[in-house]
Structure 1
Amino acid sequence: MGSSKKIVTVQILNAFAENGKGGNPAGVVLNADELSNKNKLEISKKVGLSETAFVSKSKTEDFKLDFFTPNKQIAHCGHATVATFSYLKQIGLLKNNSSSKETIDGKRKIEIIGDLAFMEQLAPKYTDVSHKESVVLQSLGLKKKDLIPNAPIQIVNTGNSFILVPVISNEILKNIITDFDLINEVSDEFDLIGYYVFSTVTEFDATSRMFGPRYGILEESGTGMAAGPLACYLFDILKIKKSTFNIQQGKYMEKPSPSLIIVNLQIDKGEIKDLMAGGKGILHRELEIEIDN
Structure 2
Amino acid sequence: MNIDVQIVNAFIDGSQGGNPAGVVVDANALTAAQKLKVARQVGLSETAFVSASDTATIRLEFFTPTRQIAHCGHATVATFSLLRQLGIIDDGRHSKETVDGNRDILVADGMAFMEQRAPTFTSIEMASELGGRILASLGLGNGESLGVGAPCVVNTGNAFLLVPLPDERAVAELSPRLPLVESISDELDLIGYYVFSTDTRVKGRHAGARMFAPRFGIAEEAATGMAAGPLACYLHDRLGVAEREMLIEQGWLMQPPSPSVIRVELELADGKISRLMAGGYARVMSSLSVEL
Same fold (TM over 0.5): yes
2:150 to 143, 149, 152: 152
Shift of 1:114: 1.3
Shift of 1:94: 1.1
Shift of 1:142: 2.4
1:19 to 14, 20, 27: 14
After TM superposition, the structure 1 stretch with the greater mean CA deviation from structure 2, 118-127 or 251-260, is 251-260
1:45-56 matches, within 5 Å, as 45-56=40-51
1:141-220 matches, within 5 Å, as 141-143=139-141, 144-149=143-148, 151-202=149-200, 203=203, 204-220=205-221
Corresponding position of 1:36 = 31
Shift of 1:96: 3.8
Note the alpha carbon deviations across 1:123-158, whole angstroms, 9 max, x for none: 000012213222111111224543124x01000000
Note the alpha carbon deviations across 1:92-145, whole angstroms, 9 max, x for none: 111241100000110000011211000000000001221322211111122454
Corresponding position of 1:279 = 280
5+ residue gaps, structure 2, are none
Corresponding position of 2:84 = 89
Paired positions, count = 285
Native 8 Å contact 2:262 2:278 kept in 1: yes
Separation in structure 1 between the aligned mates of residue 281 and residue 82 of structure 2, nearest angstrom: 9
Note the alpha carbon deviations across 1:8-40, whole angstroms, 9 max, x for none: 100000000000210000000011101111110
Corresponding position of 1:226 = 227
Corresponding position of 1:3 = none
TM-score (norm 1): 0.95
Shift of 1:201: 2.0
Please say if 1:74 is aligned against 2:69: yes
TM-score (norm 2): 0.96
What RMSD, in angstroms, separates the aligned Cα atoms of the two structures?
A: 1.0
Note the alpha carbon deviations across 1:233-283, whole angstroms, 9 max, x for none: 000000101100100001111111011000000012221000000011100
Corresponding position of 2:268 = 267
Native 8 Å contact 1:146 1:172 kept in 2: no
Separation in structure 2 between the aligned mates of residue 215 and residue 112 of structure 1, nearest angstrom: 28
1:7 to 2, 6, 27: 2
After TM superposition, the structure 1 stretch with the greater mean CA deviation from structure 2, 90-99 or 205-214, is 90-99
Corresponding position of 1:135 = 133
Native 8 Å contact 2:115 2:278 kept in 1: yes
5+ residue gaps, structure 1, are 1-5
Note the alpha carbon deviations across 1:25-67, whole angstroms, 9 max, x for none: 0000011101111110110000000100000110111000011
Separation in structure 2 between the aligned mates of residue 172 and residue 148 of structure 1, nearest angstrom: 9
Separation in structure 1 between the aligned mates of residue 124 and residue 31 of structure 2, nearest angstrom: 39
After TM superposition, the structure 1 stretch with the greater mean CA deviation from structure 2, 129-138 or 279-288, is 129-138
